[in-house]
RNA sequence: GCCCGGAUGGUGAAAUCGGUAGACACAGGGGACUUAAAAUCCCCCGGCUAUUGCAGCUGUGCCGGUUCGAGUCCGGCUCCGGGCACCA
């Protein structure tokens, strides 16, 4: 009978389902593994990126299950978000209906892949039962002083009366109506992530060697901790007058207090209050004012990409140490969101300041003497032109300058972060309502816990204009939880990153308790941290940082005792077609359903794992799928070679050369397996090793070695191609090979002779057969003999023997 | 612009610690089997030169360096990708 994936896959999927084979044990005493692939957004259909993500996760889950771990391998749906509203606008579908129908469909698609999910724990983040607990967390954070309201800048479309996501802004215009987008101030809710910045930074060390190092670097840079000096520039008397006495001084932050004597100007962000005042009161030329306003209306990214630009504000400040008058400019490279929106500028020792000073002919004063005369000089050196600090190493001067400022009470050493607090409010319908009430008497009041969840109204019309919650006739009208008077419900909803920040804890909580608790502490402490987390590299910063942050906050609120949610991380690359990201708009998608229909789930899984290492981008190739299918067929056909249903002792010494080689290949694959799951994640090389083993087995005909080979190979391949591997294991070995721990026998690797490469002058010239017991001197003389042809007229300068590998003779002409 | 990656045959890729570049596959070419096709099996397959045969040179994005030896380490580039806080 020939290989029939449809029949085999249906059979085993049903068996697994009936057996509840993948539900974890409730016992919290067993050794455990928590394997989690990032949950999907229910966009409508699964794509190859999902297949890849879940094939990898499933391989881990099945691998550890076979090692007798209690495995939690859950799935759920990241179900709130914009696409549901977009679908509502475009197709007049209700976001809720659209979302749950998508989930229904995608659940079936995933099921067809034979993934070993713990299905009883599945949920969607838009389930009211999930929202209920999330709202409780938000209220607790507010009570702990971690949550606050503040004005923020948003993209606003005046025509649609709505806030636009960055993604909805196309070349400065609204995606729907094409009108220019304005920046608008609006109140928003923030969580104080900066309070946790130090822990988020220092705990990265715990993840070293377990997370990809570039993710750790990215997170560290994102937090951007810097130590420096905060001090105030006092405005000159004349400038104070010009500003109508409204401003006396402003704060600046610098990481380079050692260059304080090199300050030749100061620069403010375009939206700094002083710049604003000058503009609003017509204290600078109208055309300059206009240009500054134009900068203020640019996004940070636009400013970063633009050339340096700035304008003199016609005011001066006093240098705190020298008393010199220093001109004040506004500059597009000074960010309002960082360090108070004002800097001291030292063009001699800072690249941005230098570029700016050069463009506008501002003075440049060197205060550090170094190895070269090229400015800007940003390396270490000795201070010059710096009064009492002259002659000091600049690295030492940093602390000394800060000390002087502190002594004179003119400033202090501070720590600054590039990280900004997390804005969690969105002016959208399809999200978790923020559980607050605005009361005329009491101000901002959190909802009573017993009133949770605050659910979304269903009778809404999503048109893309305005805010549906705001426009709803009755929903926002409520009673103040504090004084009982009429009040208004908050109409903002939560950022969807909030839902994906704690879902790992929800899965860990037994569904039987989902009504009573958000997170079960004991179970969370047992299951967490996630032992292996798998997801796209595009989440390297935001999602992973927010989830780490939320974990720490929930810990401090007493919900569990875990510091870091994800013990090991595998970031997978994207699936590409013709070098580009697969997307519907480009029409370069591959439909996983069609693939499974034609070849079966095992082939789809094998291909995605074989085609590239998981960390790398995967280039789609139709014909390579054929190759994966061919391998499975071949494996299926070789079942005829197995003669007994259990392993028998094999006399290694009695085996022929080809058989020995085949056996060695089988055990090499077995050895590789541990490495792959624990360290390299290079499933492609594990599969290649199995292919090599099968090829080698094909070159010999020893029944015992065939039996052993299939026994081991089916064990190794079960996590990758579970249906066929289970089927064959069932038929051939009663599945005993899927349970036992297989030991590596060193005897199979022993070789009779070792091949040494002979290199002369760095080039491979010939090979020699060497007895494993031979000494270095003997090997060398063998090598010289074999390479005599290339040694004529040469003298040997150096002899290198790499044991088990090669001989290299460095030569020069005599 | 800033932060982080990547680049190896016609294609996807492999190569513990710096030690034979191209394993394993795909595509392609040739052959066997077959009435024929499919399936399967066998052989060849980086480039250039040479060829009766042995072989020689060259080659891991580009330029330079360290080393007996560099795809791997160091310095400088180019191009491509991810992220940049309201896509998820």
What pLDDT shows up at residue A228? 92
Using C1' positions and the CA of A80, the closest nucleotide is B88
What pLDDT shows up at residue A517? 97
Both structure tokens of A256 = 């380079």
Assess if residue A763 is contained within a domain.
yes
Assess if residue A273 is contained within a domain.
yes
Strand B nucleotides, any atom under 7 Å to a protein CB: 1-5, 11-16, 19-21, 23-27, 39-42, 56-58, 68-70, 80-88
Assess if residue A705 is contained within a domain.
yes
* Planar angle of CA A436, A441, A442, nearest 5 degrees: 40
Domain tally, chain A: 5
Cβ pair A579, A618 in contact under 8 A: no
Separation of CA A343 and C1' B60 in angstroms? 47
Assess if residue A157 is contained within a domain.
yes
CATH of the domain at A407: 3.90.740.10
Instruction: For chain A, give the number of residues.
Output: 814
- Tell me the percentage of chain A whose pLDDT exceeds 90: 71
Mean of per-residue pLDDT scores for chain A = 92
Using C1' positions and the CA of A218, the closest nucleotide is B4
- Tell me the percentage of chain A whose pLDDT exceeds 70: 98
What pLDDT shows up at residue A585? 56
Separation of CA A539 and C1' B79 in angstroms? 25
Separation of CA A630 and C1' B38 in angstroms? 14
CA nearest to nucleotide B27 C1': residue: A623
Q: Which of A693, A716, A749 is the last residue of a domain?
A: A749
Q: What is the pLDDT of residues A534-551, one digit of tens each?
A: 999 999 999 999 999 999
Separation of CA A413 and C1' B20 in angstroms? 59
Average pLDDT score over residue span A101-114: 96
Number of helices followed by number of strands (H, E) in chain A: 27, 32
Predicted ipTM? 0.95
- Flag whether pLDDT at A618 surpasses 90: no
Q: What is the pLDDT of residues A752-786, one digit of tens each?
A: 788 888 888 888 888 888 887 888 888 888 888 88
What pLDDT shows up at residue A96? 96
Separation of CA A478 and C1' B4 in angstroms? 48
Which is more confidently placed, A48 or A546? A546
- Flag whether pLDDT at A653 surpasses 90: no
What pLDDT shows up at residue A563? 97
Judge if A248 and A363 occupy the same domain: yes
Both structure tokens of A484 = 């009982």
Using C1' positions and the CA of A764, the closest nucleotide is B20
What pLDDT shows up at residue A244? 92
Separation of CA A757 and C1' B3 in angstroms? 44
- Flag whether pLDDT at A426 surpasses 80: yes
What pLDDT shows up at residue A577? 67
Q: What is the pLDDT of residues A126-174, one digit of tens each?
A: 999 999 999 999 999 999 999 999 998 889 988 888 898 988 888 888 8
Both structure tokens of A671 = 């050895």
Confidence class of residue A582 from pLDDT cuts 50, 70 and 90? Answer: low
Using C1' positions and the CA of A619, the closest nucleotide is B12
Judge if A366 and A506 occupy the same domain: no
Using C1' positions and the CA of A623, the closest nucleotide is B26
Which is more confidently placed, A619 or A497? A497
Q: Which of A707, A727, A749 is the last residue of a domain?
A: A749
Average pLDDT score over residue span A79-106: 94
User: HSE-up of A108 (CA within 13 Å, CB side)?
Assistant: 8
Using C1' positions and the CA of A541, the closest nucleotide is B83
- Flag whether pLDDT at A695 surpasses 90: yes
Average pLDDT score over residue span A320-335: 93
Q: How far is CA A490 from CA A55, A167, A168, A456, A565, in A?
A: 42, 25, 24, 12, 31
Which residues lie below 8 Å from residue A372, measured CB to CB, with a gap of 6+? none
Assess if residue A93 is contained within a domain.
yes
Using C1' positions and the CA of A807, the closest nucleotide is B19
Task: Please give the Cα distance from A356 to A302 (Å, whole number).
Answer: 17
Separation of CA A688 and C1' B72 in angstroms? 22
Task: Please give the Cα distance from A774 to A638 (Å, whole number).
Answer: 40
CATH of the domain at A176: 2.170.220
- Flag whether pLDDT at A338 surpasses 90: no
Both structure tokens of A228 = 């420096």
Separation of CA A394 and C1' B76 in angstroms? 28
CA nearest to nucleotide B56 C1': residue: A765
Confidence class of residue A694 from pLDDT cuts 50, 70 and 90? Answer: very high
Checking A215-222 for CB contacts under 8 A at 24+ apart, the result is A215/A537, A215/A540, A215/A544, A215/A569, A215/A571, A218/A540, A218/A541, A219/A540, A219/A541, A219/A544, A219/A545, A221/A418, A222/A418, A222/A419, A222/A541, A222/A545
Which residues lie below 8 Å from residue A387, measured CB to CB, with a gap of 6+? A261, A321, A322
Judge if A168 and A184 occupy the same domain: yes
Torsion of CA A180, A183, A184, A187, to 10 degrees: 130
Both structure tokens of A695 = 């090829």
CATH of the domain at A714: 1.10.730.10
Residue carrying structure tokens 């999930």: A130
Confidence class of residue A206 from pLDDT cuts 50, 70 and 90? Answer: very high
Using C1' positions and the CA of A543, the closest nucleotide is B88
Judge if A82 and A161 occupy the same domain: no
CA nearest to nucleotide B88 C1': residue: A41
Q: Tally Cβ neighbours within 10 Å of residue A505.
A: 26
Separation of CA A663 and C1' B73 in angstroms? 37
Judge if A14 and A42 occupy the same domain: yes
Judge if A396 and A458 occupy the same domain: no
Assess if residue A604 is contained within a domain.
no
Assess if residue A524 is contained within a domain.
yes
Assess if residue A558 is contained within a domain.
yes
Average pLDDT score over residue span A578-604: 78
Range of the domain at A761: 754-813
Separation of CA A675 and C1' B17 in angstroms? 16
Judge if A741 and A710 occupy the same domain: yes
Judge if A695 and A744 occupy the same domain: yes
Residue carrying structure tokens 């101030």: A185
Using C1' positions and the CA of A754, the closest nucleotide is B20
Q: Could you write out the three-class secondary structure of A244-272?
A: CCCCCEEEEEECCHHHHHHCCEEEECCCC
Q: Is A630 helix (H, G, I), strand (E, B) or coil?
A: helix
Confidence class of residue A580 from pLDDT cuts 50, 70 and 90? Answer: low
Judge if A758 and A741 occupy the same domain: no
Judge if A145 and A237 occupy the same domain: no
Average pLDDT score over residue span A693-707: 93
pTM as predicted = 0.94
Residue carrying structure tokens 């038929």: A731
- Flag whether pLDDT at A706 surpasses 90: yes
Separation of CA A22 and C1' B56 in angstroms? 61
Separation of CA A434 and C1' B79 in angstroms? 46
What pLDDT shows up at residue A766? 85
Confidence class of residue A416 from pLDDT cuts 50, 70 and 90? Answer: very high
CA nearest to nucleotide B21 C1': residue: A764
Judge if A734 and A803 occupy the same domain: no
Judge if A315 and A246 occupy the same domain: yes
Separation of CA A747 and C1' B75 in angstroms? 47
Q: Which of A358, A384, A417 is the last residue of a domain?
A: A417
With residue A28 as reference, give the H or E element that holds it: none
Task: Please give the Cα distance from A242 to A264 (Å, whole number).
Answer: 21
Separation of CA A793 and C1' B70 in angstroms? 27
């Amino acid at each position: 009978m020939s290989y029939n994936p449809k029949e085999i896959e249906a059979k085993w999927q049903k068996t697994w389902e009936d057996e509840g084979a993948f539900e974890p044990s409730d016992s919290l005493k067993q050794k455990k593994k928590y394997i989690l692939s990032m949950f999907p957004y229910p966009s409508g259909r699964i794509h190859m990126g999902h297949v890849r993500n879940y094939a990898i996760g499933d391989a881990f889950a099945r691998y550890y299950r076979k090692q007798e771990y209690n495995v939690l391998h859950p799935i759920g749906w990241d179900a709130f978000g914009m696409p549901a509203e977009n679908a509502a606008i475009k197709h007049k579908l209700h976001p809720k209906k659209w979302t749950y129908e998508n989930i229904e469909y995608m659940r079936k698609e995933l099921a067809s892949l034979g993934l070993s999910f713990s299905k009883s724990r599945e949920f969607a983040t838009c389930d009211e039962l999930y929202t209920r607990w999330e709202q409780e967390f938000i209220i607790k954070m507010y009570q702990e002083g971690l949550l606050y309201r503040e004005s923020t800048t948003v993209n606003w479309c005046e025509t649609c009366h709505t806030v636009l996501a960055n993604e909805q802004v196309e070349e400065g215009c609204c995606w729907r109506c094409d009108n220019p987008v304005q920046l608008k101030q609006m109140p928003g809710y923030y969580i104080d992530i900066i309070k946790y910045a130090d822990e988020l930074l220092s705990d990265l060390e715990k993840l070293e060697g377990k997370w990809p190092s570039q993710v750790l670097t990215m997170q560290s840079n994102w937090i951007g901790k810097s130590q420096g000096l905060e001090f105030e520039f006092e405005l000159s008397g004349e400038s104070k007058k010009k500003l109508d006495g409204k401003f006396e001084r402003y704060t600046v932050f610098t990481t380079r207090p050692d260059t304080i004597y090199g300050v030749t100007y100061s620069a403010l962000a375009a939206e700094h209050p002083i710049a604003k005042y000058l503009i609003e009161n017509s204290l600078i030329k109208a055309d300059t004012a206009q240009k500054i306003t134009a900068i203020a209306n640019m996004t940070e990214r636009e400013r970063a990409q633009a050339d340096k630009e700035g304008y003199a504000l016609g005011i001066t400040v006093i240098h705190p140490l020298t008393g010199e008058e220093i001109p004040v400019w506004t500059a597009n490279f000074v960010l309002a969101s960082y360090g108070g929106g004002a800097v001291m500028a030292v063009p001699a020792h800072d690249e941005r300041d230098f570029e700016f000073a050069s463009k506008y002919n501002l003075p440049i004063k060197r205060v550090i003497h170094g190895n070269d005369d090229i400015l800007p000089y940003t390396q270490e050196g000795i201070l010059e032109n710096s009064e009492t600090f002259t002659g000091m190493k600049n690295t030492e001067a940093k602390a000394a300058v800060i000390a002087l400022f502190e002594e004179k009470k003119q400033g202090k050493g501070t720590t600054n972060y590039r990280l900004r607090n997390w804005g969690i409010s969105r002016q959208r319908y399809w999200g978790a309502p923020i559980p607050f009430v605005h009361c005329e008497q009491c101000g901002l009041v959190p909802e009573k816990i017993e009133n949770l969840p605050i659910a979304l109204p269903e009778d809404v019309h999503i048109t893309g204009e305005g805010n549906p919650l705001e426009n709803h006739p009755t929903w926002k009208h409520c009673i103040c939880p504090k004084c009982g008077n009429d009040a208004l419900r908050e109409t903002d909803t939560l950022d969807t990153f909030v839902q994906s920040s704690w879902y790992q804890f929800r899965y860990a909580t037994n569904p039987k308790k989902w009504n009573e608790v958000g997170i079960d502490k004991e179970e969370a402490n047992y299951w967490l941290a996630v032992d292996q987390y798998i997801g796209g590299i595009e989440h390297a910063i935001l999602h992973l940082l927010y989830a780490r942050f939320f974990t720490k906050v929930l810990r401090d609120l007493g919900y569990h005792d875990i510091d870091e949610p994800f013990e090991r991380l595998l970031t997978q690359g994207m699936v590409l077609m013709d070098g580009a990201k697969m997307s519907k708009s480009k029409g370069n998608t591959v439909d996983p359903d069609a693939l499974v229909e034609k070849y079966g789930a095992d082939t789809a899984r094998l291909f995605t794992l074989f085609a590239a290492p998981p960390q790398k981008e995967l280039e789609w190739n139709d014909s390579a799928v054929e190759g994966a299918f061919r391998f499975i067929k071949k494996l299926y056909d070789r079942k005829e070679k197995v003669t007994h249903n259990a392993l028998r002792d094999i006399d290694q010494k009695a085996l022929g050369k080809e058989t020995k080689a085949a056996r060695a290949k089988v055990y090499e694959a077995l050895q590789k397996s541990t490495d792959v799951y624990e360290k390299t994640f290079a499933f492609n090389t594990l599969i290649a090793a199995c292919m090599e083993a099968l090829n080698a087995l094909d070159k010999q005909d020893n029944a015992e070695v065939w039996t052993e080979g299939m026994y081991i190979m089916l064990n190794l391949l079960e996590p990758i191609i579970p249906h066929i591997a289970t089927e064959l294991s069932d038929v051939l070995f009663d599945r005993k090979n899927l349970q036992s721990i297989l030991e590596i026998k060193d005897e199979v690797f022993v070789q009779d002779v070792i091949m040494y490469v002979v290199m002369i002058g760095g080039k491979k010239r010939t090979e020699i057969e060497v007895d494993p017991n031979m000494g270095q001197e003997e090997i060398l003389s063998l090598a010289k003999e074999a390479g005599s042809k290339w040694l004529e007229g040469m003298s040997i300068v150096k002899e290198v023997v790499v044991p088990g590998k090669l001989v290299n003779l460095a030569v020069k002409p005599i």
